Structure 1
Amino acid sequence: MHAWKDYLPDFKGALNNFYDERLKDLVENKSTEYKNLAGEFIQKSLNYQKAMLAIGCGIFLLLAIAYFWTE
């Protein structure tokens, strides 16, 4: 007695071969590219955050000096 799998094509093998031949390099290259872009974005956002913190501290110090300045 034959099973259904004897008559059906090998879909799993076909999909694995398609992935290995056409998509694997593309997916790996894009994931590396997006990983690099995310790292650059995080670095830029940290620099922006440090700049905003420095500006905020400067404004606070100027306001503190203006408030406590006595003539």
Structure 2
Amino acid sequence: MTYSKVETFNIDGCKVRVHFPDLPEEERAKRKNALMKAAERFLKHAERVKKEKAEQENMPEAKEG
């Protein structure tokens, strides 16, 4: 695989070099699609966790008696 673009970032005192691969359009589209699906799954999970947390906070606690 060839890399024609390299960017360097300085993050919290660390030097990070990111190499961008040269990809055919078909492979680029495939990877973008996989990224979009992963983002969708992540956001759906985050919303589900948020909803479950809100439901738990609104539940009346069981009273011992």
TM-score, scaled relative to structure 1: 0.52
Q: Which has the larger displacement, 49-58 or 29-38? A: 29-38
The structure having more radius of gyration, on CA atoms, is 1
Post-superposition Cα deviations, 1:6-54, rounded to whole Å, max 9, x if no partner, equal xxxxxxxxxxxxxxxxxxxxx8x61100000000000000000010000
- Partner of residue 34 from structure 1, selected from 28, 33, 43: 28
Residue correspondence of structure 1 range 1-71 to structure 2 within 5 A: 30-65=24-59, 68-69=60-61, 71=63
Aligned-residue sequence identity (percent) comes to 5
Extract unaligned runs of 5+ from structure 1: 1-26
Count of residues in correspondence between the two structures: 42
Unpaired runs of 5+ in structure 2? Answer: 1-21
The higher-RCO structure (CA 8 Å, 6+ apart) is: 2
RMSD between aligned alpha carbons? Answer: 2.1
Q: TM-score, normalised by structure 2?
A: 0.56
Looking at secondary structure, tell me which structure has more helix per residue: 1
Give 1 or 2: higher strand fraction: 2
